[in-house]
């Protein structure tokens, strides 16, 4: 065994912590190496000094102060226990079960009684109402919405709106056939080279034809239009 390895085992050797095999190997090395023997002597003096370390002690009134503190703890424990019931309440199942059963019955009856009626008015137009059209859910409007203060009496269903659009188209076709508003065919672009129709003329007049609905001379249709929209 070399010095370096032997010295790494010296502290354990001095404390009798080595196995027999290793202790014998260290012994053998120490018998031949004086510097390691000096190191061993130093380690042993350290071990001796450890046993002679000054022992730290508590103060003389340590026990008194501690027991006073413990007494305060016991007093606190006693005070807490005084407010607790001595025994946990035992459940009388013969009384609990009927009471629970009655409570359950009342709950069921309450649920049945206060279940909302399907045919009643829930405050809004319900989806899939059999009395009205199936498509009403597409245009449902809340009755109580304060923002919707205008046209509340109007029918906003999809069918009504489609009917309204159909009427407008019918009226616009009656007044001005598509692409021919009197002057449409005469409006052309004058240029030095050729005469050709203005672009987007047909569309322009189609838009204008809708506006003219309100200026139609046919009073009955105009009144009807004013009423509907």
Partner 1 sequence: MAKQTEKDIDYSLIRAVQNGDMVAFNELVDRYKGRLMNVIGRMLSSTEEAEDIVQETFVRVYQHRQSFNFEHCFSTWIYTIGLNLARNELRKRKKFKYYEISEMQGNEKEFAVEMKLPTRLPEVLDTAIKQLPEKYRTAFMLRDVQEMPYEEVAKILSVPLGTVKSRVNRARMMLRDKLQPRMEEYNALSKSTLLPVSIL
Q: 42 vs 200, which CB is nearer to partner 1?
A: 42
Residues 85-144 that bind partner 1 (CB under 8 A): none
Q: Which is nearer to partner 1, 12 or 178 (CB)?
A: 12
Nearest approach, Cβ of 42 to partner 1 (angstroms)?
Answer: 6
Q: Name residues contacting partner 1, limited to 25-44 (CB under 8 A).
A: 42-43
CA dihedral over 210, 215, 221, 227, signed as positive or negative: positive
Using CB under 8 A, count the residues that bind partner 1.
26
CA distance 120 to 126: 10
Instruction: Classify residue 91 as left (phi > 0), alpha (psi -120 to 50) or beta.
Output: beta
Between residues 10 and 213, which has the closer beta carbon with respect to partner 1? 10
Does 23 contact partner 1 by CB under 8 A?
A: no
Verify binding: residue 62, partner 1, rule CB under 8 A.
yes
Establish if 5 lies at the interface with partner 1 (CB under 8 A): no
Among 1, 12, 30, 168, binds partner 1 (CB under 8 A): 12
Residue 184, SS3 per DSSP:
helix
Tell me how far apart the terminal alpha carbons of the chain are, to the nearest angstrom: 112
The β-bridge relationship of strands 195-197 and 188-190 is antiparallel
Q: Dihedral (C-alpha) 42, 44, 45, 48: value to the nearest 10 degrees?
A: 160
Give, in order, the Cα–Cα distances in Å from 194 to each of 144, 186, 201.
Answer: 63, 15, 17
One character per residue 135-174, x = contact with partner 1 (rule: CB under 8 A):
----------------------------------------
Q: Hey, which bits of the chain come out as E strands?
A: 188-190, 195-197
Q: Which stretch binds partner 1 (CB under 8 A): 61-69, 81-89, 141-149, 176-184?
A: 61-69
Residues that bind partner 1 (CB under 8 A): 11-12, 15, 42-43, 45-47, 49-50, 52-59, 62-63, 65-67, 69-70, 73
């Amino acid at each position: 065994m070399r010095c370096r390895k032997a010295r790494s085992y010296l502290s354990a050797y001095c404390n009798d912590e080595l196995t027999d095999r290793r202790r014998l190997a260290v012994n053998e090395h120490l018998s031949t190496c004086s510097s390691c023997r000096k190191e061993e002597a130093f380690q042993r003096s350290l071990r001796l000094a450890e046993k002679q370390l000054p022992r730290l002690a508590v103060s003389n009134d340590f026990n008194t102060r501690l027991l006073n503190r413990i007494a305060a703890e016991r007093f606190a424990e006693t005070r807490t226990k005084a407010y607790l019931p001595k025994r946990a309440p035992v459940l009388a199942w013969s009384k609990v079960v009927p009471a629970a059963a009655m409570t359950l019955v009342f709950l069921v009856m309450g649920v049945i009684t206060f279940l909302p009626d399907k045919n009643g008015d829930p405050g809004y137009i319900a989806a899939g109402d059999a009395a009205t059209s199936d498509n009403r859910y597409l245009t449902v409007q809340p009755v109580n919405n304060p923002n919707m203060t205008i046209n509340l009496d109007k029918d906003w269903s999809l069918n009504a709106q489609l009917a309204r659009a159909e009427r407008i188209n019918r009226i616009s076709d009656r007044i001005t056939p598509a692409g021919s508003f009197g002057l449409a065919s005469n409006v052309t672009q004058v240029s030095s080279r050729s005469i050709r129709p203005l672009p987007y003329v047909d569309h322009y007049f189609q838009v204008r034809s809708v506006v003219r609905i309100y200026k139609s001379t046919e009073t009955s249709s105009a009144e009807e239009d004013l009423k509907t929209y």
